[in-house]
Amino acid sequence: MEKVSLDQHISRQFNADLEHLKSQTLAMGGMVEKQLHDAMMALENADSELAMQVLEAEKKIDEMELIIDDACTTTIARRQPAATDLRMILAVSRSVRDLERIGDEAQRIAKMAIGLSEEGLSPRGYVEARHIANGVRETLRDCLDAFSRFDARAARETMAKDKQIDLDYRSAVRELVTYMMEDPRSISRVMNVLWALRALERIGDHAKNICEHIVFLVEGKDIRHIHPDAQD
Amino acid sequence: MEKVSLDQHISRQFNADLEHLKSQTLAMGGMVEKQLHDAMMALENADSELAMQVLEAEKKIDEMELIIDDACTTTIARRQPAATDLRMILAVSRSVRDLERIGDEAQRIAKMAIGLSEEGLSPRGYVEARHIANGVRETLRDCLDAFSRFDARAARETMAKDKQIDLDYRSAVRELVTYMMEDPRSISRVMNVLWALRALERIGDHAKNICEHIVFLVEGKDIRHIHPDAQD
């Protein structure tokens, strides 16, 4: 049997570290997806029990962020990676921050669900919320998928879809504001749905950020703040 | 005259790099403070011209973020810093992200100012908005001050103040929702102020994040997600 040199051993260990970072990030992504799903279920059914579960599970996601981010810092300090490896670690560190923020927004939606369970269902807004949530969930799934394959092309395609979510969000807000004027007694309940829509729109933004981190990782280009049309 | 050794030269150069990162971050902080100030002025006076200036200046802040963050990545790759130096660079990289988000929120406030200049002034909410904005501006100034001195104690004190902003925000929202029920014709205009309040609350959150980065930098402890009461 061939003897593995120290260099090979170190590099093998380093690759294992990187793989571990990646799989942990994807596991955290899965947890966040579930949070979003549960928060929306709780909102639609004004289910305060499910909403409380979402608030409880958020702690676990916060913990994951700290663990992964700490592993990133340690890996940089120990392995002193350059170029692609460094970019990958930085991209992981940035992505888990965005995932944690998505968890925060899911938590906000859960809080609105609790509000609705206390004040009664909103007379409007559920169709819009479900529609936007579907778009956001698809974006999140596609972006995690692009992350798992480090696929910059897929990441760019996913980013482009965020525009539609913004348009849908704005039209839903307009509609609900008009409705509140017609039925002022519903304002407080409709506001719960409005804040939930806002949270969904933000989740779309964070998913877009993760796509940007993937492009940065793969291409070494920082494409934040570049207008989509000017990217190619 | 004594001859400077290569090692000394490199470490001197490295210190200059770190100092440069710090001063650039503070310069960006100053720009963001001005954006918040101008956006609030535009909101109070429904001044669409000033609001447009805020939207324009946002590009400069986006640029600053990319430049500083790129300098962080390059410095890590070239100097391979460990311990405190690495933490400082990571704290800078995280802080500029939060500063950029504060800029984004200022931009949202400017957009609400444009909305009000088109629809007419809101009949309510300015006193609350000004009050919350003052608290947020103070928090931001204190947090940049703590950053300039790498003062973890001051950072912790500043974080504690964010609680009051959250309370003020919630009470203002409740008041404005009640007002909208009484005068439904004002809903659309009051909503502009409500979204601006939400943006202010988020700015407070980002300032708190920067405080956390300072503590991480100085103490090497990641205190995100720890309940404030449990920190000592």
For B2, phi and psi rounded to 5 degrees?
A: -70, 145
- What pLDDT was estimated at residue A230? 42
Q: Model pTM greater than 0.90?
A: no
Residue A8 has pLDDT above 80, yes or no: no
Distance from A2 to chain B by nearest Cα, in Å? 33
Beta-carbon contacts of A48 under 8 Å, excluding residues fewer than 6 positions away, are A42, A113, A114, A117, A118
Contact A77 B77 (CB under 8 A): no
pLDDT, average across residues A147-154: 96
Contact A87 B80 (CB under 8 A): no
Picking from B70, B181, B222, the nearest residue to A222 by CB comes out as B70
Contact A184 B185 (CB under 8 A): no
Mean pLDDT for chain A overall:
90
Contact B73 A87 (CB under 8 A): yes
10 Å CB burial of residue A44 (0-12, 13-18, 19+) is middle
Binding-site residues on chain A for chain B (CB distance < 8 A): 59, 62-63, 65-66, 69-70, 73, 76-77, 80, 82-83, 86-87, 90, 93-94, 97, 177, 180-182, 184-185, 187-188, 191, 198, 222, 224-225
10 Å CB burial of residue B114 (0-12, 13-18, 19+) is buried
Beta-carbon contacts of B170 under 8 Å, excluding residues fewer than 6 positions away, are none
Judge contact between A187 and B177, C-beta under 8 A: yes
Picking from B65, B76, B225, the nearest residue to A66 by CB comes out as B225
pLDDT, average across residues B56-73: 94
Residue A9 has pLDDT above 80, yes or no: no
Residue B4 has pLDDT above 80, yes or no: no
**B75-126 residue pLDDT tens:** 998 888 877 889 999 999 999 999 999 999 999 999 999 999 998 888 889 9
Rounded distance between C-alpha atoms, residue B91 and residue B113, angstroms: 33
How far are the Cα atoms of A230, B91, B118 from residue B59, in angstroms, in the given order? 15, 23, 24
| Residue of B28, B65, B191 to mutate, interface with A, max A Cβ within 10 Å | B191
Rounded distance between C-alpha atoms, residue B207 and residue B139, angstroms: 7
Judge contact between A112 and A196, C-beta under 8 A: yes
Rounded distance between C-alpha atoms, residue A139 and residue A137, angstroms: 5
Rounded distance between C-alpha atoms, residue B44 and residue B112, angstroms: 10
- What pLDDT was estimated at residue B60? 95
Contact B80 A83 (CB under 8 A): no
Task: Domains for chain B: give ranges and CATH numbers.
Answer: 12-230 (1.20.58.220)
Choice among A211-215, B95-99, B195-199, B225-229 with the minimum mean pLDDT: B225-229
Rounded distance between C-alpha atoms, residue A152 and residue A219, angstroms: 8
What is the pLDDT confidence band of residue A118, given thresholds at 50, 70 and 90?
Answer: very high
Residue environment code for B15-54, b if the CB has 16+ CB neighbours within 10 A, otherwise e? eebbeebbebbbebbebbbebbebbbbbbbbbbbebbebb
- Residue A19 tokens, joined: 């793989």
Picking from A97, A181, A198, the nearest residue to B187 by CB comes out as A181
| Residue of A58, A90, A183 to mutate, interface with B, max B Cβ within 10 Å | A90
**B143-191 residue pLDDT tens:** 999 999 999 999 999 999 888 999 999 999 999 999 999 999 999 999 9
What is the pLDDT confidence band of residue B225, given thresholds at 50, 70 and 90?
Answer: low
**A33-43 residue pLDDT tens:** 999 999 999 99
B13 or A143, greater pLDDT: A143
Judge contact between A169 and A146, C-beta under 8 A: no
- What pLDDT was estimated at residue A225? 66
How far are the Cα atoms of A77, A135, A178, B47, B194 from residue B116, in angstroms, in the given order? 51, 30, 17, 9, 12
Residue A5 has pLDDT above 50, yes or no: yes
Mean pLDDT for chain B overall:
90
Picking from A69, A177, A198, the nearest residue to B188 by CB comes out as A177
For A45, phi and psi rounded to 5 degrees?
A: -105, 10
Residue A232 has pLDDT above 80, yes or no: no
Contact A90 B73 (CB under 8 A): yes
Binding-site residues on chain B for chain A (CB distance < 8 A): 59, 62-63, 65-66, 69-70, 73, 76-77, 80, 82-83, 86-87, 90, 93-94, 97, 177, 180-181, 184-185, 187-188, 191, 198, 222, 224-225
How far are the Cα atoms of A80, A160, A161, A201, A203 from residue A136, in angstroms, in the given order? 37, 12, 9, 8, 7
Judge contact between B71 and B21, C-beta under 8 A: yes
B94 closest CA partner among B189, B230, B206: B206
What is the pLDDT confidence band of residue B223, given thresholds at 50, 70 and 90?
Answer: low
How far are the Cα atoms of A203, B62, B154, B162, B228 from residue B208, in angstroms, in the given order? 20, 20, 12, 7, 11
pLDDT, average across residues B32-47: 96
Q: Which residue of B has its CA nearest to A187?
A: B181
Distance from B81 to chain A by nearest Cα, in Å? 7
Cα B222 → chain centroid:
19
- What pLDDT was estimated at residue A10? 74
Picking from A77, A82, A222, the nearest residue to B69 by CB comes out as A222
- What pLDDT was estimated at residue A226? 62
**A194-204 residue pLDDT tens:** 999 999 999 99
Judge contact between A137 and A63, C-beta under 8 A: no
Contact B184 A188 (CB under 8 A): no
pLDDT, average across residues A170-179: 94
A213 or B79, greater pLDDT: A213
pLDDT, average across residues A184-200: 93
Contact B62 A87 (CB under 8 A): no
Rounded distance between C-alpha atoms, residue A188 and residue B174, angstroms: 9
Residue A2 has pLDDT above 60, yes or no: no
Residue A208 has pLDDT above 50, yes or no: yes
